[in-house]
Amino acid sequence: MGAFLGAIGLVGFVAGIVLIILGFIKKKKYRGGIVTILSLILFIVGIVITPSVDYEVVEEETGSANTNTLSIRVTTESTKEKELELVAEEVKKEYEKKDVDGMWLYIHKKDNDKKFGDLMATANISYTFDGQVLVGNENPNDMSFEIK
C-alpha cells in the first residue's frame, strides 16, 4: 500500500510540475501547484507507511562444488509473520544479483548472548531452474516460506 501511494505521489508530482510549466507558457491557471503539493504529501505518506525490518546476516555457507547454492542464517527482532516474510523478501532481493541458483534461509530471533536465537521461520528460495530442483520449489524465481 505504501509503495502504491508513493508511486502515485511521484507521478502526480511530475504531472503537477508539467501543469505549472504549461500554465506559465499558456498564461492559464491549471492548478499545478495544488496537484504538486497534494502529490508530494501522498509521496511522503507512502514512504512513511512502507514497512521495513532490520535483520543481520550472521552465517553464510556455500553449497558443494557441484551446486551453486547458499545456506544463510539471519537474526531479527521482528516476530510477526508479515515482518518475517518481509525479511525473507529483502534477503531474496539482496542475493538476486549474485550468481546463486538457490538458497535456504533460516530466520532466527536475535539473541545477544548467542550467535543466533530460536528458529522462527525458514524460506527456500530459487532463482533458476537448477535452483528450483535443488531447493524443492515448484517454479524458478520462487520462494516457499514457513513459520516454525
Burial annotation 75-91 (CB, 10 A radius, 16+ → b, else e): bbebeeeebbbbbbeeb
What's at 71, amino acid-wise?
S
pLDDT digits (tens, 9 = 90+) for 71-91: 999 999 888 888 888 889 888
Grid coordinates representing 147 are 513459520
Pairing of strands 69-76, 56-62: antiparallel
Q: What is the pLDDT along the chain (148 residues), one digit of tens a residue?
A: 677 888 888 898 888 888 888 888 888 887 878 888 888 888 888 888 776 778 888 888 887 767 788 899 999 988 888 888 888 988 888 888 888 889 999 999 988 888 888 999 999 999 988 888 888 888 888 899 999 8
Which helix (H) or strand (E) element contains residue 145?
strand 142-147
Specify the DSSP class assigned to residue 27: T
Q: Per DSSP, which regions of 53-141 are E strands?
A: 56-62, 69-76, 102-109, 119-126
Q: What is the pTM of this model?
A: 0.66
